[in-house]
Amino acid sequence: MIVRRVAGWLDDRLGTNAAVRYLLEKIYPDHWSFYLGEFALYFFVALVATGIWLTFAFDAAGSNAYASTLALADRSHPIGYVIRQVHHWSAVCFVAAILVHMGRIFFTGAFRRPRELNWMIGLTMLALASFTGFTGYSLPNDSLSGTGLRIADSVALSIPLVGRWAAAVLNGDDVFPGRLLATHLYTLHVYYLPVAIGALLSLHLGMLIYQKHTQFTRDPRSVVGRRFWPDYALRTVAVLGATMAVLTLLAALVEINPIELYGPYHPWTATNGAVPDWYTAFLEGALRLGPATELRIFGHPIAPVFWPGLVLPLLTFGFLLVWPFVEPRITGDRAAHDVLDTPTQAPLRLGVGAALIFDGILLTLAAADDQTATALHVRLEALVWAYRILLFAGPVAVGLIAARIGREMRARIVESAVYPSDATTLVRNADGGFDEEEPQPA
Amino acid sequence: MKVALFLALTILGALGATAAAATGAPPGLLAGAATLAFLGLASAAGATAVALHAPDDLHEPRRARGPTLPSPVPDDGVTRRVFGRMWFAAFGAFGVLGLVPLISLARRPGRRVLTGWRAGLRLVDENNQPIRSDRLAAGGIETVFPQDGVNLPEAPTVLIRIPRELVTGAVPGDRAAAAGYVAFSKICTHAGCPVALYRRQAHELYCPCHQSRFDVLNGAKNISGPAPRPLPRLAIDVDAQGYLVARGDFDAPVGPDDWDRVR
C-alpha cells in the first residue's frame, strides 16, 4: 500500500512508473555463469559498506596509521576486527570474481560487437580494482606493505624520461617515503578510485540493460529467459546473501593480513617469505624472473624493474583491451553477436585465453619461488631459469594444445550436424566387413 | 515451510550477531552468527525463486542496431576538412595547456638520495648508540646508521665482520678492515628493498624480496638474481676512542637507478 502510494507520487512528478515497469518486466536469459559478475558486484557493495565504516575508525596520518590498524586487528574489539577482516577479504575476492567473470565473457565471446566498449570498461575496472586493493593494502604502514611501496616507488622511478616526476607526484616529495605519500594513498583509496569504479560500474550495468544480455539460446532475434521481477530479484538476493555469507565465514575462520605479526615499517627491515595480496603476486613473480641487465640509452639507465613492473602489465592490459578488435580481423567475422559461443566453438580464442591464463598462473607461482625451491630441494637459480623458459615456451604449447582441442571438438559438432547419427546405419556384408547403408529416400 | 525456516535462521543469526557484538564475544562468534543470517537470507530467496516455478522461456525482442542519425555537414563557409582540422587543433591546444597543471603536480620534482654518511661520522645502531670495534664476533652482522641519521631512507648499512684475511679492496692502514669489518648499503640496487639476510657460511647477502645475492668477499658483487650492480661499499675506520667511523659516503649511488641518474 505504502509502496503503491510512493510510486504513484513519484510517477505523478517524474513519470517513473513506465521505466520501473520496463525494468521489472525485463527478460534476462539464464545460465549459472551469468551470476559471476553479480558476485563481483556484491563484493564491491561489501567493500563500500565496510569501507565507509572503516574511514571513521582509521587514522591515515603518518605514524598513527599502524597503531589505528592495530586497534582494528585486536580481537577483543570484535566489531572493528570483523569489519576490517570482511573488508580485506572482499578486496581479494572482488578481484578474483572480476577475473572469473572476465574469463566467462572472454571464452564465450560476449565481448564481440556490439559489446566491445563494455568489455573495455570491465577491463578498466579490473585494473582500478587491483590498484585500489594495492593502495588499501599499503595504508596500515606495516613492514610488509611499506616494502611493497618502496618497490612501487622504484618502479615509478624507472620510467624513462618522467620517472622522477612520477615518483615525485606519488610521494609529494623528492624522497621516499615522501611527506604526502600516506595522504595520496588514502585519497586515492577512499575517494578517486572507488568513485571511478562506481561510475564505470553504473555505465557497465546501464549498457548491459540497454544492449540486452547475451545468451546461449540460438535465437538472435529475441532474449529468451525469465522476468526480473520476481524471478531474478529473488535470485540476486540469494547471490547477495551467499556473497556476504562467504565473507563473514572467511572473517570468522581465517585472519587475513595479520599486521600485528609484521610490525611497523622501517626502511631497514624485511623478512623472508613475504608475499603480497594474490592479485599483485604476478608482478612480484615477474620482478623475480626479470633480467638483471640495466639498459642504457645515451647514458640514461633503464632500471631492470621497468620491464616486469610496468611494461608487462601495460602490455597485457593493452592486448586484452584491443582483443575485441583483433579477433574479427583474424577470423573475418565482423558481425554482431548476441548468441554466445561455447569455449570450444572458437579455437583461436580458446588458445589465446589458455596461453594468458598459463602465464598468469606461472608468474603468480614465481612470486613464491624461494619457498618452492626450498620445498622441492632444487637450486633457486635452476627454478628461476625453468620459470623463465616456461614463461615463453609454456603459453605457446598450452595455446596450441587448447586450440587443437577446440578445433577437434568443433569439428565433431559440425560432423554430427552434417551426418546426423540416425542417418547412417552400418550393415554387415557377406565378407564380414561393414557397409554403410544408404539412407532411404522418403 | 522451508522458506519460513530459512527466514527464521536469518532472524536468529542477525539477532545472535547483535548479541555477540553487544556482549563483546570473540570475533569468530560475531562473524559466525552473521554467516548464518546471510546463509538464511540466500537460502530463503533461492528457495522462493525455485518454488515460483516461473516460466523460463519468455521472449523479449532485440532492437535493430545501426546509426540513428546521419552525420551533419557544417555550413560555415569553409570546407569540411579545414573545419574539422581547426576543431582538432583547438582541442589540441587545450591539451597542451593541460600539461601545465599536470607537470606542476610534482611539488618537489627530482629525487634526493639521503644517505647521511660523511667522513668521521660514527656508525650507530638503531638506538643511535655508537659501535665499538669489538661489537661483533667473526661472522657477526648488524644494521648500522650514521649518527643521528637512523631515519634517513638511504642510510641503512650492513656491517659484517669476516675473518680478516678474507677482506679485499681495503685501503692500506684501514684499522676496521684489519679487524675484519666490511660495510655495504642495505638498500638493494634492484628495487630498494632492505637486503636483510646474511648467509654466514657462503658470505652472501641475500635480498628477501626478489632473491638477489651479493658476494661479501668480493665487494658485494651481484652474483645472482635481478639486481643489476653491486651494493655500494662504505669505507670505514676505527677512531681514537675505539668506535667505528665512516671515511666518507658510499662509493656508488644507493638504491635502484633511474633515467636521470647518469654516471
Q: Which residues contact A402 (CB under 8 A, 6 or more apart)?
A: A347, A350, A351, A353, A354, A355
Range with the poorest average pLDDT among A299-313, A358-372, B50-64, B164-178 = B164-178
Q: Is the pLDDT of residue A425 over 80?
A: no
Q: Do A244 and B103 touch (CB under 8 A)?
A: no
Q: Does B210 touch chain A (CB under 8 A)?
A: yes
Segment B20-40, tens digit of pLDDT: 999 989 999 999 999 999 999
Q: How many CB contacts within 8 angstroms connect chain A with chain B?
A: 272
Average pLDDT, rounded, for chain B: 91
CA–CA dist A100, A90 (Å, integer): 15
Q: B192 and A75: CB-CB below 8 Å?
A: no
CB-CB under 8 Å, A274 with B208:
yes
> Tell me, what's the pLDDT at A441?
56
Answer yes or no: do A294 and B257 touch at CB < 8 A: yes
Residue B75's pLDDT is 64
Q: Which of A147, A249, A301 sits opposite B193 (nearest CB)?
A: A147
Mutate to test the interface with A, among B53, B103, B128, B209 (most CBs of A within 10 A): B209
Task: Give residue A213's Cα distance to chain centre.
Answer: 20
Tell me which chain A residue has its CA closest to the CA of residue B213. A381
Express as a percent the part of chain B with pLDDT over 70: 95
Report the range of poorest mean pLDDT among A114-123, A195-204, A419-428, B225-234: A419-428
- Which of B29, B58, B211 is nearest residue A370 as measured by Cβ atoms? B211
Residues listed for chain B: 263
- Which chain B residue is nearest to residue A289, measuring alpha carbons? B226
- Report the C-alpha gap between A294 and A176 in whole angstroms: 22
Is the pLDDT reported for residue B169 higher than 90? no
Contact criterion met (CB < 8 Å) for B38 and A242: yes
Q: In the structure, what pLDDT confidence band is assigned to residue A119 with cuts at 50, 70 and 90?
A: very high
A97-A100-A102 Cα angle (round to 5): 105
Q: Give the β-pairing of B141-146 and B157-161.
A: antiparallel
Complete domains list, chain A, with CATH: 1-30 (no CATH), 31-212+224-271 (1.20.810.10)
Chain B residues touching residue A301 (CB < 8 angstroms): 257-259, 261-263
- Report the C-alpha gap between B101 and A169 in whole angstroms: 12
pLDDT of res. A91: 98
Among partner residues B196, B229, B259, which is closest to A300 by beta-carbon distance?
Answer: B259
Q: Please compute the mean of the pLDDT values over residues B163-184 and round it to a whole number.
A: 85
For strand B157-161 and strand B181-185, is the pairing parallel, antiparallel, or unpaired? antiparallel
Answer whether A40's CB lies under 8 Å from A97's CB.
yes
Q: What is the pLDDT of residue B168?
A: 80
Q: Could you give the CA distance from residue B79 to residue B61 in angstroms, rounded to a whole number? A: 43
Whether residue B63 has pLDDT greater than 90: no
Transcribe A119-187 into DSSP letters.
HHHHHHHHHHHHHHHHHHHHTT-BHHHHHHHHHHHHHHHTSTTTHHHHHHHHHTSSSSS-TTHHHHHHH
Average pLDDT over residues A206-212: 95
Contacts of B43 in chain A (CB under 8 A): 238, 241
Count CB atoms within 10 A of the CB of residue A148: 23
Q: What is the pLDDT, as a whole number, of residue B54?
A: 86
With 0-12 CB in 10 A as exposed, 13-18 as middle and 19+ as buried, what is B58?
middle
Select the residue of A75, A155, A241 nearest B39 (Cβ to Cβ). A241
What was the pLDDT predicted at A352? 98
Query: Residue A245: how many CB atoms within 10 A of its CB?
Result: 21
Q: Nine-digit cell at A320? A: 586484452
For residue B72, what pLDDT is reported? 65
Residue among A78, A293, A301 minimizing CB distance to B259 = A301
How far apart are alpha carbons A224 and A232 in whole angstroms? 14
The shortest CB-CB distance from A78 to any of B26, B109, B156 is to B26
Check if the beta carbon of residue B233 is closer than 8 Å to that of residue B183: yes
User: Is B256 in contact with A177 (Cβ distance < 8 A)?
Assistant: no
Indicate whether A82 pLDDT > 90. yes
* DSSP output for A272-321: TT----GGGHHHHHHHHHS----EEETTEEE-TTHIIIIIHHHHHHHHHH
What's the rounded Cα separation, in Å, for the pair B44 and B10?
Answer: 9
Are A222 and B61 inside 8 Å of each other by CB? yes
Give the span between the Cα atoms of B194 and B212, in whole angstroms.
11
pLDDT digits (tens, 9 = 90+) for B98-129: 999 999 988 888 899 999 999 999 999 999 99
Residues 6+ apart with CB under 8 A from B101: none
- Residue B73's pLDDT band, with cuts at 50, 70 and 90, is low
Of residues B48, B39, B55, B37, the one with CA closest to residue B1: B48
In whole angstroms, give the CA distance from residue B5 to residue B18: 20
State residue B237 phi and psi, 5-degree precision: -150, 175
Which of B 138-177 lie inside 8 A of A, CB atoms? 143, 145, 153, 156
Do A172 and B38 lie within an 8 Å CB cutoff? Answer: no
Q: What is the pLDDT of residue B232?
A: 97
Q: What is the mean pLDDT of residues A72-82?
A: 94
Which of B21, B107, B197 has the CB atom closest to A79's CB atom?
B21
Helix (H) or strand (E) holding B250: strand B244-250
Copy the grid coordinates of residue A308.
616486469
Tell me what pLDDT residue A420 has. 55
Radius of gyration of chain B (CA): 34
Least confident of A35-44, B79-88, B188-197, B238-247: B79-88
Question: Residue A417: which pLDDT band, with cuts at 50, 70 and 90?
Answer: low
Do the chains contact at A249 and B61, CB–CB below 8 Å?
A: no
B55 touches chain A (CB under 8 A): yes
Distance CA B144, CA B126 (A): 7
What value does the mean pLDDT take over residues B218-243?
94
Q: Which three cell numbers stand for residue A397?
A: 604449447
Averaged confidence pLDDT in chain A:
93
Collect all residues of chain B within an 8 Å Cβ-Cβ radius of residue A162. 259
| CA-derived radius of gyration, chain A | 27
Q: Is the pLDDT of residue A56 over 60?
A: yes
Q: Assess whether pLDDT exceeds 90 at residue B55.
A: no
| Contact between B32 and A248 using a beta-carbon 8 Å cutoff | yes
Specify the range with the lowest mean pLDDT, choosing from A181-185, A255-259, B73-77.
B73-77
- CA pair distance A313, A95, nearest whole angstrom: 15
Structural fold of domain B123-250? Rieske Iron-sulfur Protein (2.102.10)
- Helix axes A233-253 and A78-107, enclosed angle (nearest 10): 130
- In percent, the amount of chain A with pLDDT more than 70 equals 95
Mean pLDDT of A427-435: 80
Residue A61 binned pLDDT confidence (cut-offs 50, 70, 90): confident
Rounded to whole angstroms, the Cα distance separating B59 from A333 reads: 27
Q: Which residues contact B138 (CB under 8 A, 6 or more apart)?
A: B161, B162, B163, B180
For a pLDDT cut of 90, what percent of chain A falls above it?
Answer: 85
DSSP three-state, residue A427: strand
